[in-house]
Amino acid sequence: MEQGVVIVLLISGLCTLCSCLSRQYHFVNIEKSWTEAQSYCRQNYVDLATIDGPEEMQALLETVDGRRHYAWIGLYDDRESWQWTLTNSSFYSEGETEFRNWKVGEPDKTGGCVTMDSEGTWTDVSCHISPGNPFVCYDDDPQRYILNTKKTGWEKAVFNCEKHYTSLTIIRNQTENKKIKDIISDSQDHDNLDVWIGLFREPWSKWSDQGVSSYRKWNSGEPNNLGGNEDCALVTTSDSGRWNDRNCDDKHSFFCYDDNLILIRVNKSWDEALSFCRQHYGDLVSVPTEQVQRSVNRMAQSASTAHVWMGLRFSCAMKFWLWLDGEITWYQNWAPGNDTRECGQRGAVESGAGQQWVSLPKTEELNFICRKCEGMCDSTLKQKHVLRMKLNALSSLNMDDPAVAEAMLQQMKVKLADEGITGVKLRWRKQADGKIFHREEEEGKEEECENMEV
């Protein structure tokens, strides 16, 4: 045998040929208030609709007839979500985080940040007003308040206070409020001195199902809090689904969602589980994103086994973990020490505790989660990934010969197919110098991935 040499090469492949949306939307054409709609969805489905991106928005709109409807979704504005930038609870006695001294008529949802005026009363304002406001910092040891009269943006004020003192000021009771008011009134141009304090909130940041999607599709000029009490979001179906804020007590139709997944509470080996899902539903579940992970977690909680099979396996040929649809595990949620690289291992998720991924021998008999595909494959989700591999090759091989490169590719595809992995398209990627293969020079190069749209 000749001595092996290490080379580096790049593969780009269409990793996702078929990616199911993890939510199935339902349009309910019964007029209800937002809270009533929420109860209805929780009883009959999972919850009011959470929407993670344009593909999901499209799927949601496709559940409606062509007519114009105004329909609730799960997004709402929680007026009570004010919090201090200083979160460490050891700074507050009981009830002190809840102290407020709003001006009459405030907060009126003008924005997510708060100023105090020379009367000592508070107003909510936009965090992004230019050129900002003076601000008061708090220092804990010894307790003192520091006024900075330079007009500053809110984020800069937070940064500045945390750098030099404890935080942008907290206010825990009337005594402290008066101290800060006195500092403002004692300063020279106190008449028009509104100062930042450390209270803030993120408007329109909550979904009914506690989801964390940051996707928004507001109509222009919305949300506008018309009439002063618009805290719930609805979709106008005819207006390419743009969103509007409305009074939560208004009655409208609404969108619920179901997980596009099903937990099978029967104990099977990984191979048996795979056949079962393919026969009755679609496939064993893939978890390409944190959002799908949350749906999987919800399901796994009712399993009768400590772990639940997912469609995750280790490819011996390629030496990495792959989802059944050929997708590489860009999103990862391994329990510590479980990202092992052994042939025959399969991936499961813990049904309790941290709900992280563990690698187990495929012969273990576990509950499992299937995904219901129902032709919902979305070809627009195809993704191209680049991956760097290290190979040991015989030094007699002419690595610059295209025929050699092609032969290696074929061999890799055959190996993948032997393992039952299809749906991955592989091709070599030439590097800047026109070559595919490079002899390894640096140490410690690992697989490296880039995400690119096709």
Ligand X SMILES: *[C@@H]1O[C@H](CO)[C@@H](O)[C@H](O)[C@H]1NC(C)=O
Contacting residues toward ligand X, per CB under 6 A: 88, 90, 93, 96, 172-173, 175-176, 266-267, 304-305, 335-338, 340, 358
Nearer Cβ to ligand X (160/267):
267
Whether the Cβ atoms of residue 16 and residue 325 lie closer than 8 Å to each other: yes
SS3 state of residue 218? strand
Nearest-CB residue for ligand X: 337
Which element (helix H / strand E) includes 161? helix 154-164
Whether the Cβ atoms of residue 37 and residue 28 lie closer than 8 Å to each other: yes
Nearer Cβ to ligand X (172/445):
172
Q: How far is the CB of 269 from ligand X (least distance, A)?
A: 12
Nearer Cβ to ligand X (304/363):
304
In sequence order, the β-bridge partners of residue 315 are 320
Nearer Cβ to ligand X (88/395):
88
For 182, the token pair is: 């006195």
Phi and psi torsions of 212, nearest 5°: -120, 25
Residue 337 Ramachandran class (φ > 0 left, ψ -120 to 50 alpha, else beta)? left
Nearer Cβ to ligand X (39/340):
340
Buried b (16+ CB within 10 A) or exposed e, 245-273: bbebeeebbbbbbbbbbbbbeebbbbebb
Nearer Cβ to ligand X (90/379):
90
Nearer Cβ to ligand X (280/435):
280
Nearer Cβ to ligand X (244/355):
355
Q: How far is the CB of 448 from ligand X (least distance, A)?
A: 24
Q: How far is the CB of 122 from ligand X (least distance, A)?
A: 17
Q: How far is the CB of 270 from ligand X (least distance, A)?
A: 15
CA distance 143 to 141: 5
Which element (helix H / strand E) includes 34? helix 34-44
Q: How far is the CB of 264 from ligand X (least distance, A)?
A: 10
In 3D, which of 206, 376, 210 has the Cα closest to residue 297? 210
Q: How far is the CB of 230 from ligand X (least distance, A)?
A: 36
Q: How far is the CB of 163 from ligand X (least distance, A)?
A: 16
In 3D, which of 310, 271, 307 has the Cα closest to residue 419? 271
In 3D, which of 396, 392, 408, 406 has the Cα closest to residue 440? 392
Q: How far is the CB of 225 from ligand X (least distance, A)?
A: 33
